[in-house]
Amino acid sequence: MTHVTRPGLVGSHVRHDVKHHLAPYDASQLVVVHDRWVLDAARTAADVAREHPLAHGVVAFDSALRLGVTRGALEAAVEPHMRCWPHVKRVRVALDLAAVGADNPGETLARLLVSELGFGRPEAQFGLTDGLRTVFCDLRIGRHVFEFDGRLKYHRVEDGGVALVSADDVVWREKQRQDFICGFKLGMSRIVWDDLWGTRREQALVRMRREVTDTVARFGSATDDLTPFRARVSRPGQDPHRAA
């Protein structure tokens, strides 16, 4: 479905698979993409959050942050313009849950899943280095890290994936990477797409609670000893074997 926003009072209707939104916007929110005027990333993310369920909005806001949009710009797209608009409360919640660090929608959804465990908000892109190798884990709570795995990383580029080496080499490098991370006395949970939906979601939550509890029993939850090994680079480019 195509969405078209027109200035006017708040409201919408669908005609011929085109949803027309009557919603005010500022000229400053307009940008040109492929010779067409469209709303900028901040306003578009806010509109997605208002139009769709919560997770969609968090993914949209994370995407905007990944594109370089500041949190201040996202907040300005919501307040005061949408203060009394339908579903604005959901927009505010989605923006509060948004965070820098998700490299793709899967990592955003994995962060929301991990947040449901009840152990607090996870840290994204937790970096570790021994001076020779630097890795970044998708998410961390205490001494437990979480990695989101998509199947594309096991398929070569010519087969529609992202791997530049064979699947065997991908798995071997992944094992070495996990051994490196767990060598810092950290536990690890792995998350795949199926864990994000339906009955598998509840099963994944049960499994990960068990895994986190085991990590705490073995290593505790304090992380002061990791301070000398924390990587300070903001993005994961230093780790060529990081899961895609």
pLDDT per position as a tens digit, 3-38 = 676 676 555 656 657 666 567 778 787 788 888 888
Q: What is the pTM of this model?
A: 0.85
What does the pLDDT look like over 168-200, one tens digit per residue?
999 999 999 999 999 999 999 999 999 999 999
Any idea how long the chain is? Answer: 244
Mean pLDDT of successive 10-residue segments in the chain (244 residues)? 64 63 73 87 94 96 97 93 88 97 96 97 96 96 97 90 91 96 98 97 98 98 97 55 39
Alpha-carbon span 231 to 68, nearest angstrom = 21
For helices 54-66 and 105-115, the axis angle rounded to 10 degrees is 130
Other Cβ atoms less than 10 A from the Cβ of 112: the count is: 15
For residue 182, give both structure tokens. Answer: 């767990």
For residue 140, give both structure tokens. Answer: 């961390």
Q: Residue 22's pLDDT is what?
A: 62
Region for residue 68 given its phi and psi (left: phi exceeds 0; alpha: psi -120 to 50; beta: otherwise)? left
Region for residue 87 given its phi and psi (left: phi exceeds 0; alpha: psi -120 to 50; beta: otherwise)? left
> 105-238 in CATH: which number?
3.40.960
SS3 content of the chain, % helix, strand, coil (to 5): 45, 20, 30
CATH 3.40.960 domain range(s) in the chain: 105-238
For residue 70, give both structure tokens. Answer: 């500041």
Q: Residue 234's pLDDT is what?
A: 58
Please list, in sequence order, all residues whose beta carbon lies within 8 angstroms of the beta carbon of residue 158, skipping any fewer than 6 positions away: none
What 3-state class would DSSP assign to 116? Answer: coil
